[in-house]
């Protein structure tokens, strides 16, 4: 009986996230974790991850939310949704580099995960500077980067200098 209630709380929490009601979802995931705290199922791990995500969205407790999501990923490293949640928390902390690496780790598990593919696409990334020993904003790197982009366009390659679309193979 408690398992069914915790599953219902988990499902309602996911529905609340889909509606954008993160405070309600936070309470539902907290209830789910409380009910399942002694169980060996994966439900509490996923609920813990979603709890961390919601915590980051409704409060300024970003470090705590990140710790919770990292613990969930560590406990179930084969679940791509957990990487998505951790990446979103990292983005809330303005840690784009860690968010990008986290999304890529999730895509290694499921290369066709639509939400991870979309997260990477939205995050975008830039290519390395042409001359790695100079800062990105150095005039020489800017000119050489513009030249590289022009050559890419002339060769018919997509522009990868700013936001890039990652295609699921």
**How far is residue 53's CA from residue 89's CA, in Å, rounded to a whole number?**
6
- 81 is written with which tokens? 């949704």
104 and 141 assigned to the same domain: no
pLDDT confidence band for 106 (50 / 70 / 90): very high
For helices 43-58 and 2-19, what crossing angle results, to 10°? 40
Check whether 168 has a pLDDT greater than 60. no
* C-alpha separations of 15 from 9, 25, 51, 66, 162 in Å: 10, 8, 13, 22, 34
83 touches 139 (CB < 8 A): no
Check whether 124 has a pLDDT greater than 60. yes
136 and 149 assigned to the same domain: yes
Q: Which domain holds residue 117?
A: 2-123
Domain count, the chain: 2
Q: What is the pLDDT of residue 127?
A: 82
Q: What is the pLDDT of residue 42?
A: 63
* C-alpha separations of 161 from 36, 75, 131, 153 in Å: 47, 36, 15, 11
- 160 is written with which tokens? 């990868």
Scanning the structure block, which residue is given the tokens 């309600």?
24
114 and 141 assigned to the same domain: no
- The H or E element that residue 86 is part of is helix 80-92
Residue with more model confidence, 36 or 47: 47
111 and 152 assigned to the same domain: no
């Amino acid at each position: 009986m408690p398992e069914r209630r915790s599953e219902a709380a988990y499902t309602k929490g996911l529905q609340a996230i889909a509606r954008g009601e993160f405070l309600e979802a936070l309470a539902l995931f907290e209830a789910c974790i409380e009910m399942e705290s002694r169980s060996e199922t994966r439900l509490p791990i996923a609920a813990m991850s979603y709890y961390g995500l919601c915590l980051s969205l409704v409060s300024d407790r970003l470090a705590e939310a990140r710790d919770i999501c990292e613990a969930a990923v560590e406990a179930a490293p084969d679940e791509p949704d957990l990487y998505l949640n951790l990446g979103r928390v990292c983005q809330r902390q303005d840690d784009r580099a860690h968010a990008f690496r986290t999304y890529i780790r999730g895509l290694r598990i499921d290369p066709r995960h639509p939400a991870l593919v979309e997260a990477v696409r939205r995050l975008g990334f830039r290519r390395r500077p042409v001359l790695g020993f100079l800062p990105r904003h150095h005039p020489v790197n800017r000119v050489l980067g513009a030249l590289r982009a022009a050559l890419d366009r002339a060769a018919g390659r997509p522009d990868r200098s700013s936001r890039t679309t990652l295609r699921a193979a």
